[in-house]
Structure 1
Amino acid sequence: MTTIKNYPLSITALSIVVLLASCNKKEKKYFDNKFTKPEIIREASSEFLSPEESMKTFHLPEGYKMELVASEPMVDEPVTIAWDGNGRLYVAEMNTYMQDVDGTGTNRSISKIKQLIDTDGDGKMDKSTVFIDSLLLPRMILPLDNGELIVNETYTYDLWKYTDTDNDGVADKKERVYYNENRRGGNLEHQQSGLLWNLDNWVYTTYNPIRFKFTKDKVLVDSVIKMPSGQWGLTQDDMGNNYYSTAGGENPGYGFQHPPIYGDYSPRERLEPGFMETWPIVGTPDVQGGPRRIKKDGTLNHFTGVAGQTIYRGHKLPENLYGDLFIPEPVGRFIRRAKIVKNEDGLKVLTNPYFETEFMASTDLNFRPVWSETGPDGTLYVVDMYRGIIQESNWTRKGSHIRPVIERKGLDKNIGRGRIYRIVHEDIQPDKQPKLLDKTSSELVEYLGHKNGWYRNTAQKLIILRADEKVIPLLKDIASNNQSLWSKWFGNDDKDYALERIHALWTLEGLGAIDESIIKEKLLDKDARVRMTAIRLSEPFLKAGNTELLNDLENLETDPSVEVVDQLALSLRFSPKDKATAILKTIQRKYAENKVISSSAYESLKKTDERLLALKERIAGRNRGSQESVLKGYDTYNQLCVTCHGPDLKGAQNEDGSLVAPPLIGSKRVKDHDSKAIRILLNGLIGEVDGTEYGVMMSLKSNSDRWIADVLSYVRAMNDEDNVDFKTVRKIRAKDKDREGYWTLKELDKIK
């Protein structure tokens, strides 16, 4: 009888033991081992290789490999990719990009966006349709709900929504959802990219200081005055911090300390010493910077062509890659992996885990990684434009350093191809294709806690676009208490419950369902990231003058997390109340030794654009038309020129303290002779400037005469000189209409 009575108990005890054992089962640990560097090929062949042959030139750490997802003729000159909720891959192609050394025919409207589908689930695309045809160099794409794609083309700020209403893989409906009468002139490399749906439900781009919010039936637009600029590529981490890069400024990562709404805080210490030095495995003769950018072994010595970076947030590669920044370098033919380490002040610092080595590198001269992305299958995708010339025609003109290299190596003949790869690990099977578009809103809520950031963000986006208020109670339950007793007791699962609460909160915000009570509750959450989120969500209430929340926020000035205190310092700028100012001053005093928090408090206490106010005061005596021209030039300068010439016009600094471009304050070309400056902007400049070689200043002649005049009027105003008349620009443009090459200062000095 005893045996029979105790038998169920024995089974129960045994079950618990088994369960506990399974809870404590350890997964395999992976380490940051670098690949064995091959002998550097100083003069590699530029011959085209098949995808299979090219993949043999790839070097990655042990266990990792590149798998081919798509290649020519399925894709041709791919530049960026994005998936819809069911895993259909949209590929933007710049089919006219640099089809010869002079860029002939670049501006023909014959580029495409294709839709690729993996019909059998093997990871390789096997069905392709032209979703949109006859485009002018499409550069930004954002899938919305089923069959909907937002698109931006080069030289315009406009956003168009294309819809496939009959599900045949071809868009049959087109409507403009955002219009800006201004056209974007200048070099096509120095234009916006992104359309990144951020955690905060705003959609961000580079360059353009505005953001968009897409809802079920409208698009909202908001100005962000001090947002980082960036160039080609935009990504975010789990907390909605955007990571920018710029090839023009040779800057692989900045603007990521805080969400973009708070401006750009990018101290030099954000990069570990030596981070800018690069480690390719093939000679790099076609670098725009010329000999100063080449090591003795013939390889690239410094980041220059950075593009298409991404934070890996997937679930089907080793866990130690999660949250790392991957930076494609198409000029150096490699991909840098950067780990993000926080110092005691909470400053995020980019580090290279591989001593004098890159994460991935190739010896194929046509390998041109221009974009990377976390895929729904949990792996890391890489877009290879696979071509000879990567620089735009402004940098390949007669007289440039690159042109003779292109002609000698025959790089101008290498066009019309492209590959898309995914990086996988031999121990981990990629996930199957998603079917989020087929899910109900309630089912989508379940994905807000998915291990893959792509799922979390996509589910959040779809719920908001559907505006389904029936899920609000479910979202509030998750935001309030989403952790089971089992996980609290045993902690056996690897789910990040705080991230699920964060996404639930932002989804509620997107549905207009955030209230004061839930913010107060989450200000006390045990996880610092959730407390930071609650602080951000309090900002609209602070703007409206809410004092009760201000009292709750005051308690966080002594929070044990410096990141929470920093977020408090950032958010209090939105309150007009004197108490908010008092709290900020207390934080500033208490954290005077913390560079991050003290900077945030200082900026919040300013609450105004001091440079703009100083400029307006400087030009107060000029007539209205002159003032308007200078202020337009100020806006343009901060979108386009600031990354090289710096916000103070004294030249942006490289890591070693050298300048990216010559200073404009006190410049003889700016002060003494406005025709010299006009000619430089129209045709560009090459050669030494005041004894220093900076590389090529690109031509901006594709912009209007007024645009040129406005920019120069701003630069001259900062030197206390008169405005430039657009008629003068028109006259000089006509006089030099047959000139194709860059100017040198020796040539300009001869012009009277």
Structure 2
Amino acid sequence: MIKKYGPGLVVLLFLAGTLSAFYAFDAQEDPFASPRVVSQEPVLVPLPPDEALKTFRLPKGYRLEVVASEPMISEPLALAWDGNARLYVAQMETYMQDVAGSGEREARSRIMLLEDTDNDGKMDKSSVFIDQLVLPRMILCVGREVLVNETDTYDIYAYEDTNGDGKADKKRPVYQSEQKAYGNVEHQRSGLDWNLDNWIYQTVDPVRFRYKKGKLVADTLISGSNGQWGLTHDNYGRLFFCRAAPENVGSGFQINPKYGQLEFADAYNEAEFGAVWPIVKTPDVNGGAGKLRPDSTMAHVTAACGQSIFRGDRLPQSLHGDYLVAEPVARVIRRANVTTRNGKTTLANVYHQDEFIASTDLNFRPVNTYTGPDGCLYIVDMYRGIIQQATWAQPGSYLYGQIMSKGLDKNIKNGRIYRLVYEGIEPGPKPRLLDEPTAALVKYLDHPNGWWRDNAQKELIVRNEKKVVEVLRKKALGQEQGTSPLGRLHALWTLEGLEAVDKALLLPLLTDRDAQLRKAAIWISEPYLQKNDAQVLAKLQTLVADESDDVLVQLRLSLSVATAAQAQKMVAALRARKPSHEMLTGIEESLRKKEEVKKYGYKLMSLAEPVRKSVLEGATIFGTLCATCHGPEGQGTPTQLAPPLIGKFKLIENKEEVIKIMLHGLKGPVDGEKYSEHMPPMGSNSDEWIAAVLNYVRYDLCMRSFPEMNEGYRNWVIVKPEQVQAVREKTTDRREPWTWEELMAAKKNQKK
């Protein structure tokens, strides 16, 4: 994609039934009318929508419009359009209604249905589509139904309005799980992103879905999922996640999570890309004043979320393909160029020490961005005082003081949806995909707006009418005049979704002139590779010498599903041809770790090999020696022979005290409870033996009691042999088993 232009205006024409004009900046020019200046007088009181628009700073030519606001909407979080451009808004109406988060789990949230009946870009009709929900967090339109997931459950239901009154009157389950979801509101799943590959992805949980016969069929992602709040994809099916908790602006965009996890420290310059540039003092930062610059602005991203790749056709072409991510604490939206070189993807802020969109209104809380049906960018603004959940705003904390002193807790029940437009470019027409005959949808696979292409593909697959297969085959093979490469790509994946791909289609596409078609054909050939199909393998052999890094990367990933000797020879040939290729080398490591996850499980895979070996040895020892008294999984026994090791046994958390117990034993009541057996001393065993038992107990059994603990805590629980040795030497004169009272007293002294 061209990112630099000469002086003046460049008009780019795209054919999609109508002609669309784009305007592009010279990359060397300052796109802002004035330099960035930090306001030391932030707007605290909620402003009417028209007044709030005046607080924004944008590049020249861009303008925000209010699409919807209170009282039509309240606490909006996520959007989804159906094929006729009717807008569904997920609202978390019980989120942080006071600083304590009172009543947060009450079923009082809703999905609103909004419509623009006069086509002026503003919503003028609304209805409560679904009522009495618990903090709805995921939403996706499929056909005439809306799929919805609520907080604290993995269940997903489809809702439909069958009588046209704007309210759902039909509800059916499309995915159900006996497990109960748990965790902070901020740390549960988001997404339901129907990707180019016809899998529906989400964040946090290691699962993706396939929509089949009206149900969501789950597929486990062995190496885990990615991200926190927000999920998007580009024109070629590359997924983009971000992790707000570790202050990560973007992650997971090197390879599909199906193949494992691959991150590069230099995927963006952390010092530059992690820095954030508000235009207003931002005192309400989790972490305190140390997170602020001398001018009282937030120095580093802390709540990146709601990202999108802009794929519309009604903003400057220079924006197309850029990564947009919201930062609600900084009151900004970041714009980054996405570059793929040698198969590796990197991000870079478009503006030096500046942001694409910023506001001086402290109530501007952007949480999601989208490419809309009209080809413009949409921004969801919760427009509220508090954005952090109550866990991070406890009384006595820095954040609590800022919230209360500035009255941020008083701004609730508002919300805005903005549309970003550009001077001289009219927003596109409204689609009617749901009402068009199936054959008519095929032409939209060539549309310059990615929203139309995605939704045409999805609708064709949901309808599952095989009469369009032949025209789709011709389009995918490039036999239809005027078909674009992206149109061919969508036609191919639509055929995949219709289960209408065969070798007669795939084999010529494996050597197509377009690299992205070759890459997609490799990806789609995996069912044949799993069967070690000789004809497909022979065709793939020619791609070992391909000049496209994207093709080579996908070839290596897809060969991982094949077991044939020929496949292994191709892998070896790739290594020999590109021995220092960073992406290929990284993929080898990711695939290796994925196999370790299969063997050891995700929790053990994250450990270094010596530590993992220790945990596994400890599991064997525990099962043969300790389980008799403590229960096979540390849950205790009905006869109370010994204390349970899950949940109640506090000393598991303290290394030195639990080492003492292993060395010298434990007698008497434990935490006020009497047990029939005493813990015998195990000090005659080696330091390595004792460390192994404790590593299994602490890392595996203990972590079940603390599933919310992060990886840093998980690493901390590991006991090293030298730590056992140190306690052994420290207590060398000990001859009697310890008592609970002695250990608790020692623990208190350590804290002092």
Fold match, TM over 0.5? yes
Return the match for 1:671 from 655, 674, 678.
655
Distance 1:570 1:186, change over 3 A: same
| 1:104 aligns to 2:88 (yes or no) | no
**1:228 deviation in Å?**
3.6
The answer to whether the 8 A contact 1:70-1:419 is kept is yes
Aligned residues: 632
Change (3 A) 1:283 1:716: closer
Aligned counterparts of 2:238 and 2:657: Cα–Cα separation in 1: 43
CA RMSD of aligned residues (A): 2.9
> Deviations for 1:470-491, whole angstroms, at most 9, x for unmatched residues?
110011010112453xx6xxxx
In the aligned structure 2, how far is the partner of 1:308 from the partner of 1:208? Answer: 17
Tell me which residue corresponds to 1:132: 130
The answer to whether the Cα contact below 8 Å between 2:222 and 2:594 also exists between their aligned partners in 1 is no
Q: Tell me, in whole angstroms, the C-alpha distance in 1 between the residues paired with 2:552 and 2:236.
A: 15
Is the contact between residue 258 and residue 265 of structure 1 (CA under 8 Å) also seen in structure 2? yes
Counterpart contact for 2:174–2:214, Cα < 8 Å? no
- Report how far residue 205 of structure 1 moved: 0.5
Aligned equivalent of 1:521: 508
Greater alpha carbon shift after TM alignment, 610-619 vs 388-397: 610-619
User: 2:632 & 2:331 partners in 1: Cα distance?
Assistant: 44
- Name the counterpart of 2:616: 617
1:262 aligned onto 2:259: yes
Distance 1:68 1:748, change over 3 A: farther
Contact kept? 1:388, 1:415, Cα under 8 Å: yes
1:507 aligns with 2:498: no
**Cα deviation, residue 215, structure 1:** 2.3
**Within 1, Cα distance between the matches of 2:657 and 2:715?**
13
Aligned residue in 2 for 1:61: 59
Judged with a 3 Å threshold, the aligned counterparts in structure 2 of structure 1 residues 392 and 531 are, in CA distance, closer, same or farther, namely same
SS of 1:309's partner is: strand
1:269 alignment partner, SS class = coil
Given candidates 22, 26, 30, the residue that maps to 1:31 is 26
Distance 1:607 1:390, change over 3 A: closer
Q: Which of these residues, 536, 554, 576, is aligned with residue 589 of structure 1?
A: 576
In the alignment, what sits opposite 1:323?
321
1:157 to 144, 154, 158: 154
Q: Is the 8 A contact 1:280 1:300 kept in 2?
A: yes
Which residue of 342, 362, 366 maps to 1:365? 362
Aligned counterpart for 1:534 among listed residues 514, 517, 521: 521
Aligned-residue offset at 1:569: 0.7
Superposition deviation, residue 174 in structure 1? 1.1
Q: Confirm whether residue 549 of structure 1 aligns to residue 536 of structure 2.
A: yes
| Mapping of residues 290-309 of structure 1, within 5 Å | 290-309=288-307
Change (3 A) 1:38 1:477: same
What residue number does 2:47 align with? 49
User: What's the secondary structure of 2:417's corresponding residue?
Assistant: strand
47 and 82 in structure 1: CA distance in 2 versus 1, 3 angstrom threshold: same
- Written as runs of structure 1 = structure 2, the 5 A alignment for 1:229-240 is 229-240=226-237
Q: 1:205 to 1:607 in 2, by over 3 A?
A: closer
Residue 581 of structure 1, CA deviation: 1.6
Cα offset for 1:589?
Answer: 2.6
Change (3 A) 1:58 1:478: same
Within a 5 Å distance, the mapping from 1:32-431 to structure 2 comes to 32=27, 33-35=30-32, 36-146=34-144, 148-272=145-269, 274-343=272-341, 345-431=342-428
For residues 384 and 59 of structure 1, the distance between their equivalents in structure 2, rounded to whole angstroms, comes to: 16
> Equivalent of 1:577, from 564, 570, 588?
564
| Separation (CA, whole Å) in 1 of partners of 2:589 and 2:566 | 16
**Structure 2 CA distance for partners of 1:145 and 1:413, relative to 1, 3 Å:** same
Map Cα deviations across residues 82-104 of structure 1 (whole Å, 9 max, x no partner).
10000000000000110111111
Q: Distance in 2 between matches of 1:286 and 1:465?
A: 46
Describe the shift of the 1:707–1:584 C-alpha distance in structure 2 as closer, same or farther (beyond 3 A). same
Following TM superposition, by how much is the alpha carbon of 1:719 offset from its aligned partner in structure 2, in angstroms?
3.8
Cα distance in 2 between the residues matched to 1:82 and 1:346 = 32
CA shift digits 1:516-546 (9 cap, x unpaired): 1211110011010000000000111111221
Q: Which amino acid aligns with 1:471?
A: V
> Is this contact kept in 2: 1:197–1:204, CA < 8 A?
yes
In 1, Cα distance between equivalents of 2:550 and 2:25: 29
Asked whether the 8 Å contact 2:22–2:317 carries over to 1, the reply is no
Residue number in structure 2 paired with 1:679: none
User: 1 CA distance for matches of 2:708 and 2:66?
Assistant: 45
What letter matches 2:473 in structure 1? Answer: K
Corresponding residue for 2:690?
Answer: none
> Which is further off, 500-509 or 584-593?
584-593
Q: 1:386 to 1:472 in 2, by over 3 A?
A: same
Q: Secondary structure at the match of 1:268?
A: coil
User: What secondary structure does 1:80 align onto?
Assistant: strand
How far did 1:46 drift?
1.0
Q: Out of 215-224 and 154-163, give the one that drifted further.
A: 215-224
Question: Partners of 1:256 and 1:479 in 2: how far apart?
Answer: 26
The structure-2 alpha-carbon separation of the partners of 1:717 and 1:390, relative to structure 1 and needing over 3 Å to count, comes to closer
Mapping of 1:674-713 within 5 angstroms? 707-709=704-706
Is residue 140–residue 193 contact of structure 1 (8 Å, CA) maintained in 2? yes
Asked whether the equivalents of residues 384 and 418 of structure 1 are also in contact (C-alpha less than 8 Å), the reply is yes
Shift of 1:674: 8.0
- Give, as a single letter, the amino acid of the residue that structure 2 aligns with 1:582: K
Q: Tell me the equivalent position of 2:548.
A: 561
Question: Compared with structure 1, are the counterparts of its residues 244 and 719 closer, same or farther at alpha carbon in structure 2 (3 Å cutoff)?
Answer: farther
Give yes or no for contact 1:585–1:601 (8 Å, CA) kept in 2: no
SS at 2:254's partner residue? coil
Given that residues 183 and 708 in structure 2 are in contact (C-alpha distance below 8 angstroms), is that contact kept between their aligned partners in structure 1? Answer: no
Change (3 A) 1:710 1:605: closer
CA positional deviation for 1:236: 0.3
Deviation by residue 1:32-53 (Cα, 9 ceiling, x = unmatched)? 5432234311342311111111
CA drift of 1:260 comes to: 2.5
Aligned to 1:479: 476
Partners of 2:379 and 2:322 lie apart in 1 by: 15
Deviation digits for residues 194-242 of structure 1, max 9, x if unmatched?
A: 0000111111110111111112333311101124421110000111111
Distance in 1 of aligned mates of 2:572 and 2:632: 36
C-alpha deviation, 1:269, in angstroms: 1.2
**What is the deviation of 1:751?**
7.0
Instruction: Name the SS for the 1:56 alignment partner.
Output: helix
User: In structure 1, how many angstroms separate the alpha carbons of the residues matched to 2:317 and 2:110?
Assistant: 36
2:104 alignment partner, SS class = coil
Distance 1:573 1:628, change over 3 A: farther
Aligned to 2:663: none
SS at match of 2:209: strand
- State the SS of the aligned residue for 1:225: coil
The Cα shift of 1:513 comes to: 0.6
Amino acid at match of 2:149: N
> Is residue 374–residue 454 contact of structure 1 (8 Å, CA) maintained in 2?
yes
Q: What does the per-residue CA deviation read over 1:539-592, in whole Å, with 9 as the maximum and x for residues that have no partner?
A: 111112212211111111110111111110111000011221221122123212
2:454 matched to 1:457? yes
Shift of 1:259: 2.3
Alignment of 1:629-668 (within 5 A): none
Contact 2:43–2:360 (8 Å) recurs in 1:
no
Taking the aligned partners of 1:719 and 1:705, their CA distance within structure 2 comes to 13
1:672–1:169 distance in 2 versus 1, CA, 3 Å: farther
Gaps of 5+ in 1: 1-23, 488-494, 631-666, 676-703, 723-746
Based on CA coordinates, which of the two structures has the bigger radius of gyration?
2
TM-score, length-normalised on structure 2?
0.80
Amino acid at match of 1:363: T
Identity of aligned residues (%): 43
1:628 positional shift: 8.9
Q: Is the contact made by 1:80 and 1:139 (CA closer than 8 Å) also made in structure 2? A: yes
Cα 1:592–1:544 shift into 2, 3 Å: same
Q: What's the CA shift string for 1:428-448, capped at 9, x where partnerless?
A: 000121100011111111111
